[in-house]
Amino acid sequence: MEEPISGSDGQQDVYGSIVKEPDYSSSQGSYEPNEARDEDMTLFDQVIINTMREHNIKGGSVIIGREGKILYRQGYGQDSAGLSATSTSKFPIGDISKVITAMAVLKLKELGYLELSDEVMGNDQTSILKLEQKKNKEKFDRRKRKAHVISRSVQHLLQHTAGWDAAEENDIIGTRKLKLSRKITNLAKCSNAKELVMRQMMFRPPDFQPGTKQVYCHLNYLFLGLMIEELTGMSYMDFITDMFHCLGVGSLEDVDYTEDLQKEDVYLDGLQNIKFCVLKKHEAPAKFLHGTTKDKRKEDELFLLETAAYCGLVASAEQLFKIFSSVELSLFQRSVLSKDSVTQMLERPECCPDKEWYGLGLKVSDNGESWGHFGRIPEGTHSLAFRDQSGITWTVLFSQVESGSQTLDIELGTMMRHALSVTPRFSSYSSVLFKHVSFLGMEVSFYGMYSSHIDQ
């Protein structure tokens, strides 16, 4: 190791950049590594800890491995219960939940339940998700329905090409909120909550023709979760637990919704175990009802209780590593999925000419040699599961920004590449890990650059 640069308060890494010495103190507790330490990984731990301090992250965990074998694991700070976080501590994994949903869909394909071209919603006679028939004698105008309902296939939903655009407010807001349109749904005619959500999105005009472009949208995976339950007769959570039994993963959880609903002043009536969502109605002002004002009444809102299929799973870094590594292992040996299924997950959609693309539940890059998924929820959770073209796989879970801190988007991939590059054990991978990074020679503290926007 070269001598530190004069005037710096840290050590110089292999590229001439400064890695600051960690400050383990914190107003909320200690950032000191909580699991067995490895002298070779000291600089790695410093980078992770400095990043957590920079962004006021309360706790987190990291696992690094290759071909399914764990090479290093560590926990930092505190978990949600105030205990020392470890690689077995459970944190929300955010959008990485979509990887698990995609794997579940492909497992159903292998078992003969569906084909990727099957229609999830559209014509009642052939689609997987069907609207309930009316019980009264009033006939349903099928010609009107056909004019408004767009056919969406399993593949459309998996690849985010189903026609919904979050920018047009046709998506779940945050992690749970969905606005209702009275022009589409008569609330009194919906016999259950799932029917209400299905009617909303099936009759809502698409923002683009399905299959023509990719727009990331939670709704796609919400409906895939409903489809899994419809086809199997099992709950989503039970099905994925059975699917991963061979990996020894144990149970996963759906994030608790109590605090989220309380923030919105929404309270349940004790029947939450049989509910899919809860409705928050906004009553019209008296002046509006009597036609004396042009002010618009607020749209009613749905708050989804079951979010596991698109962003609501809770898991540990160890559980996530086992699940994510099984994707790569399936390319060489039989694991959770077949080789053909994983190959399909990594394929480029026809509508996506970019060098990076979203396959079936995975963001793919480096000509198909790297893949992964990020996760972020507004409460400050940041997560990443990634298999790099170097052959290294990592899972990172950061959770719970300290009270009063601003939540930023942390570039966990850049952080991990830098942390690995300064670590002797992984230095041989540095040229591959940093192939596309241009700021290697800058004499700066890298951890301060792991945000996509930093206060000026």
Question: Which carries the bigger pLDDT value, residue 197 or residue 106?
Answer: 106
d(CA 272, CA 254) in angstroms, rounded, equals 14
d(CA 169, CA 160) in angstroms, rounded, equals 15
Contact partners, residue 8, CB within 8 Å, separation at least 6? 18, 443
d(CA 126, CA 43) in angstroms, rounded, equals 57
Contact partners, residue 253, CB within 8 Å, separation at least 6? 90, 237, 313, 314, 315
- For residues 103, 168, 254 and 60, what is the CA-based torsion angle, rounded to 10 degrees? 90
Q: Does pTM surpass 0.85?
A: no
Q: What is the mean pLDDT of the chain?
A: 79
Confidence check: pLDDT of 286 > 60: no
CATH number of 91-402: 3.40.710.10
Identify residue 67 by its one-letter amino acid code.
E
Q: Which tokens in the block code for residue 58?
A: 């309360």
Contact partners, residue 201, CB within 8 Å, separation at least 6? 121, 164, 170, 219, 223
pLDDT in tens, 194-246: 777 887 788 778 889 999 999 999 999 999 999 999 999 999 999 999 999 99
- Work out the burial of residue 454: count CB atoms within 10 Å of its CB; fewer than 13 is exposed, 13-18 middle, 19 or more buried: exposed
Confidence check: pLDDT of 89 > 80: yes
Identify residue 265 by its one-letter amino acid code.
D
Average pLDDT over residues 406-422: 83
Give the model's confidence band at 445: pLDDT under 50 very low, under 70 low, under 90 confident, else very high: very low
Contact partners, residue 429, CB within 8 Å, separation at least 6? 390, 391, 392, 420, 421
DSSP 9-53: SEEE-TTS-EEEPP----TTS--SB-S---GGGHHHHHHHHHHHH
Average pLDDT over residues 426-453: 48
* All structural domains of the chain with their residue ranges: 1-55+408-456, 91-402
Contact partners, residue 262, CB within 8 Å, separation at least 6? none
* CA neighbours closer than 13 Å in the CB half-sphere of residue 391: 8
Query: Which of 9-13, 416-420, 437-441 has the least mean pLDDT?
Result: 437-441
Rg (the chain; Cα; Å):
24
Average pLDDT over residues 425-429: 77
Confidence check: pLDDT of 158 > 60: yes
Confidence check: pLDDT of 157 > 70: yes
